[in-house]
Amino acid sequence: MTEHDQAGRQARSPVDPRTSWATWTTQSIISGPGGVTTAEVGPISGDLTVHTTWVDGEARLTVQYTGALDWYTVSGSPVPAADETTARAVHQAMVNGVKAGRGAVAPPPPPTA
């Protein structure tokens, strides 16, 4: 027997964040003054790329100069993210932080409903 939700659709099993993953990359973001603070080299600014990996219930944020080989950990990363939707919101908040600059660090996870 298959379970269905209230709309009559087949219900999905909850996603186990320990066995699920996703990634997002946003390229060519011109940082605001002060750029992004990294764990390895401090602040970087200019034309940047942000990459987020969601795995093991956390969003891992990295940044690089667009087109470069080296990736740097964004200060404050990883951010707890119980599900893919939360991790995607963290990624977008980081992109917005890069645009704002001011030594942006990893955003806090969005509040849960």
Q: SS3 for 37?
A: strand
**86-106 pLDDT, tens per residue?**
999 999 999 999 999 999 999
pTM > 0.95: yes or no:
no
Q: What is the pLDDT of residue 16?
A: 57
pLDDT exceeds cutoff 50 at 19: yes
Q: Which strand (E) or helix (H) includes residue 25?
A: strand 21-30
The DSSP symbol for 4 reads B
- Is 40's pLDDT higher than 90? yes
Within the chain, residue ranges assigned H as helices are: 84-100
Q: Omega into 14 within 30° of 0, i.e. cis? A: no
Q: Which residue has the tokens 């977008």?
A: 92
Residue 92 main-chain phi, psi, to 5 deg: -65, -40
Measuring CA to CA, how many Å separate 2 from each of 6, 7, 13, 15, 16? 13, 14, 11, 17, 20
Rounded mean pLDDT of 43-63? 97
Mean pLDDT of 72-79: 98
The two tokens of residue 51 are 């990459």
